[in-house]
């Protein structure tokens, strides 16, 4: 059994495409073994009763029992499991709040792939990961949401439409029918999108869409 297989991870996120994408990244980068994917905090707590887990990747906004309430219950149980919180909130007050509650890392959904991989490696090594608290350039504001910044990526409106279609699990043919364009055009745009974003597959593209608030 490898060191990665010894490191057990649960993903708690109500978006199946996102949890599947995160699992793929973990597997491809040999970061650990995903032993379960759950859509809400209630199922997470139930799974933890029987599963031996080292790390929970926890989304804040989930139905039934959200990430905040789940974390409260984890603290009540005094579990030793590590927690990496992922959220669309990038307000410093939110980060400090969850750090005080004992989470080991906090990533806003504007993170990039390398940052996600680095976060898991840091937590596995027994360290914490709070990049927003370490940044001297963090802008504090009353709005906790970060809009999609297309200035950085230079995507066309059509490319964004195709990203949304791929993130919904649509095939190139289905996207073509929906947008009234040819399948060849969709394939061409898809190739250009992957090149622009330095992305290799649909799973990584879906994660990009969520981390940049497109979905």
User: What is the per-residue pLDDT across 81-119, written as a single tens digit (0 to 9) for each?
Assistant: 999 998 877 778 778 888 889 999 998 776 778 889 999
Class of domain 150-211: mainly alpha
Q: How far apart are CA 190 and CA 172, in angstroms?
A: 9
Q: How far apart are CA 82 and CA 56, in angstroms?
A: 6
Looking at residue 135, what is its pLDDT?
54
Which of 77, 120, 112, 85 is closest to 12 using CA atoms?
85
Query: At residue 4, does pLDDT exceed 80?
Result: no
Where in the sequence of the chain do the CATH 1.10.10.10 domains occur? Answer: 150-211
Q: How far apart are CA 100 and CA 3, in angstroms?
A: 30
Query: Which is the CATH superfamily of the domain at 3-134?
Result: Response regulator (3.40.50.2300)
Ramachandran sector of residue 126 (left: φ over 0; alpha: ψ -120 to 50; beta: rest): left
- Averaged over 122-148, what is the pLDDT? 65
Looking at residue 3, what is its pLDDT?
56
- Averaged over 159-178, what is the pLDDT? 89
Contacts of 135 (CB under 8 A, 6+ apart): none
Where in the sequence of the chain do the CATH 3.40.50.2300 domains occur? Answer: 3-134
Query: At residue 142, does pLDDT exceed 50?
Result: no
Looking at residue 139, what is its pLDDT?
41
Q: How far apart are CA 174 and CA 215, in angstroms?
A: 18
Looking at residue 146, what is its pLDDT?
52
Query: At residue 5, does pLDDT exceed 70?
Result: no
Compute the radius of gyration of the chain from its Cα atoms.
18
pTM across the whole model: 0.64
pLDDT, tens only, 18-41: 899 899 999 999 999 999 999 999
- Percentage of residues in the chain having pLDDT higher than 90: 40
- Averaged over 30-53, what is the pLDDT? 94
């Amino acid at each position: 059994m490898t060191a990665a297989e010894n490191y057990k991870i649960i993903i708690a996120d109500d978006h199946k495409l996102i949890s599947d994408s995160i699992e793929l990244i973990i597997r491809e980068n040999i970061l650990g073994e995903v032993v379960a994917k759950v859509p809400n905090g209630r199922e997470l707590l139930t799974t933890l009763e029987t599963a031996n887990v080292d790390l929970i990747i926890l989304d804040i906004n989930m139905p039934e029992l959200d990430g905040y309430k789940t974390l409260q219950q984890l603290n009540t149980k005094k579990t030793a499991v590590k927690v990496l919180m992922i959220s669309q909130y990038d307000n410093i007050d939110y980060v400090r709040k969850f750090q005080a509650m004992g989470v080991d890392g906090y990533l806003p959904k504007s993170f990039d792939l390398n940052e996600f991989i680095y976060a898991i490696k840091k937590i596995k090594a027994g360290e914490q990961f709070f990049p927003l608290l370490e940044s001297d350039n963090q802008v504090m504001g009353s709005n906790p949401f970060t809009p999609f910044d297309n200035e950085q990526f230079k995507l066309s409106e059509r490319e964004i439409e195709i990203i949304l279609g791929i993130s919904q699990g649509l095939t190139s043919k289905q996207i073509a029918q929906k947008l009234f364009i040819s399948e060849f055009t969709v394939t061409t745009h898809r190739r250009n999108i992957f090149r622009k974003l330095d992305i290799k597959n649909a799973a990584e593209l879906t994660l990009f869409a969520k981390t940049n608030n497109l979905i």
